[in-house]
Structure 1
Amino acid sequence: MLTDYHNHLELGTLTNDYLMEFVNTANEKKIEHFGISEHAYHFYQTKDILRNPWVDERRYYDMKDYVALFMDAWNRNIDVKMSIEMDYTPGKHKEMEQFIRSYNFDYVIGSIHWINDFGIDLAEFRKEWDRRDLHDTYEKYYDQVVTLAESNLFDIIGHIDLVKIFKYIPDDEEFLLEQFDRATTALANSKTCVEISTAGLRKPIGKLYPDPRLLQMCYDKKIPIVLSSDAHKPEHVGADYDQAIRLAKSVGYKSLMTFNKGDRKEVPLD
């Protein structure tokens, strides 16, 4: 079986017609477990969790409309999971938990896009990489991976090594592996799964998330995985899954985790 749990409607509309473009692609790719996980910062209900000028300009959805979209889909017997991708925000655990528990999500993705006021994956902030100490940025990023895992609020961590997106990677392999090790140790002690994401192939880094060495640590520590495309366009659903499956199997994975209203079930990896 295959999963694609990380997908976004933000470039289109919260309508059944647009949703079906994603669902149809998933069906064509034989993806049995498919979900939409819109960015939480788009919703008015998260304004007490993450605030900054970039985010505030992009807060234009209401959760009641999002939930209604899925209710309509389910009434039509469309098999699509309802999720959210939440920016993990240190110091806001109580607020994040309250938001997550307010809705009947099938699963919740936690991701790290911000180090304080630094949007690490945004083109608008790319020059910041040359102004900052690379080791410090990586250490602070993986600090958040650790505390995200320790919060146990999330079912999946999105693109776990997103920090490499613009090819800024420390030359010190020992330092890098230390970050991987402490991140995976924390994840192994949590309920959080790791996604193999093909989105990195469409980014400047041109590689899958995560790094094979990081994924090997995940396997060795028995951390479950899912496959995701992080599609923002219907045609990207299930993109490059041959590479994701090959990577998963190369480190030893033979199964994926699936989700349904908070329940999880392990299934064979095709």
Structure 2
Amino acid sequence: MLTDYHNHLENGTLTLDYLEQFTNAANNKNIGSFGISEHAYHFYQTADILQNKWVNERRYYDMKDYVSLFHQAWNKEIDVKMSIEMDYTPGKHKEMEKFIQSYDFDYVIGSVHWVGDFGIDLAEYKKEWERRDLYDVYRKYYDQIVTLAQSNLFDIVGHIDLVKIFKYVPQDEEFLLEQYERATDALAQSKTCVEISSAGLRKPVGELYPDPRLLRKCFEKNIPIVLSSDAHFPEHVGADFDQSLALAKEIGYSSIMTFSKGERKEYPLG
């Protein structure tokens, strides 16, 4: 069994034709459980959760159109999971929970893209890495990974070490391992799975998410995994899954989690 649960339509249209380009790509790569997880900040219904200038300029979808798209697909017997990728936002647990419970998602991804006013993975903010204290950014980033897990609102944590995207990584390994330890301690007490994401291979960091040392801690604490590509274009669906599978098996994983309407099942890893 292979999964690809982290995929975006935002560079195209919320139409069945465009969606089918993704599902066809998944079928061609023998991905047995495939889902679309558009960024929640694009939707008017999340305006009470995350507000900043960068996000507000990109809030142009309505959830009713998104849900309708999936019903069109299901009516055509297209097997696609409906999900959302939500920016975990400290202090907005009630608002996030209300939004998540308002829709019949198959699963929900929680990710950290913002450390305060700092969009850590955005090219527009890259210069900020030279202005800020690297260790402070990492500590605050993993503070959010911990509380994301503790909220127990999410089925999957997206690209758990996204903070390394531009190759700004602390040289103090003890500090780094401490962040991994507390993140995985929190995840182990939650329902949240970790994705092995091949997206990092297409980013400046040039490596999978997560770091093998972090994934090993996940394995040791029995935190389940899924596979994801974080495709923003159909051609990236299932990209570099050979490397994702090799890492998972090297660490010791032999199974993968699947989702359907909030129900989860474990299958042998493809």
- What range is the shorter-chain TM-score in? over 0.9
Cα offset for 1:243?
Answer: 0.1
Cα separation, 1, equivalents of 2:268 and 2:84: 25
Show structure 1 runs of 5+ residues with no match: none
Cα separation, 1, equivalents of 2:104 and 2:228: 21
Q: How does 1:208-223 map to 2 (within 5 A)?
A: 208-223=208-223
Which amino acid in structure 1 is aligned with residue 250 of structure 2?
S
Cα separation, 2, equivalents of 1:133 and 1:52: 22
* Equivalent residue, structure 1, for 2:129: 129
Cα offset for 1:262?
Answer: 0.2
Cα offset for 1:265?
Answer: 0.2
Cα offset for 1:96?
Answer: 0.1
* Equivalent residue, structure 2, for 1:231: 231
* Equivalent residue, structure 2, for 1:41: 41
Cα separation, 2, equivalents of 1:32 and 1:15: 22
Cα separation, 1, equivalents of 2:59 and 2:188: 34
Deviations 1:160-199 (A, max 9, x none): 0000000000000000000000000000000000000000
Which amino acid in structure 1 is aligned with residue 21 of structure 2?
E
* Equivalent residue, structure 2, for 1:12: 12
* Equivalent residue, structure 2, for 1:252: 252
Cα separation, 1, equivalents of 2:5 and 2:63: 19
Q: How does 1:53-68 map to 2 (within 5 A)?
A: 53-68=53-68
Aligned-pair identity in percent equals: 77
Cα separation, 2, equivalents of 1:250 and 1:141: 27
Which amino acid in structure 2 is aligned with residue 187 of structure 1?
L
* Equivalent residue, structure 2, for 1:196: 196
* Equivalent residue, structure 2, for 1:26: 26
Cα offset for 1:258?
Answer: 0.2
Cα separation, 1, equivalents of 2:239 and 2:24: 14
Cα separation, 1, equivalents of 2:204 and 2:138: 18
Show structure 2 runs of 5+ residues with no match: none
Which amino acid in structure 1 is aligned with residue 212 of structure 2?
P
Which amino acid in structure 1 is aligned with residue 12 of structure 2?
G
* Equivalent residue, structure 2, for 1:177: 177
Which amino acid in structure 1 is aligned with residue 226 of structure 2?
V
Q: How does 1:47-196 map to 2 (within 5 A)?
A: 47-196=47-196
Cα separation, 2, equivalents of 1:146 and 1:201: 25
Cα separation, 2, equivalents of 1:57 and 1:267: 41
Cα offset for 1:260?
Answer: 0.3
Cα separation, 1, equivalents of 2:205 and 2:24: 29
* Equivalent residue, structure 2, for 1:206: 206
Cα separation, 2, equivalents of 1:217 and 1:237: 27
Cα separation, 1, equivalents of 2:134 and 2:232: 29
When normalised by structure 1's length, the TM-score is 1.00
Which amino acid in structure 2 is aligned with residue 193 of structure 1?
C
Which amino acid in structure 2 is aligned with residue 25 of structure 1?
A
Cα offset for 1:142?
Answer: 0.2
Cα separation, 2, equivalents of 1:196 and 1:109: 13
Cα separation, 1, equivalents of 2:128 and 2:17: 39
Cα offset for 1:3?
Answer: 0.1
Instruction: Name the SS for the 2:34 alignment partner.
Output: strand
Cα separation, 2, equivalents of 1:213 and 1:40: 30
Which amino acid in structure 2 is aligned with residue 16 of structure 1?
L
Count of residues in Structure 1 that have an aligned counterpart in Structure 2: 270
Which amino acid in structure 2 is aligned with residue 94 of structure 1?
K
Instruction: Name the SS for the 1:232 alignment partner.
Output: coil
Which amino acid in structure 2 is aligned with residue 199 of structure 1?
A
When normalised by structure 2's length, the TM-score is 1.00
Instruction: Name the SS for the 2:98 alignment partner.
Output: helix
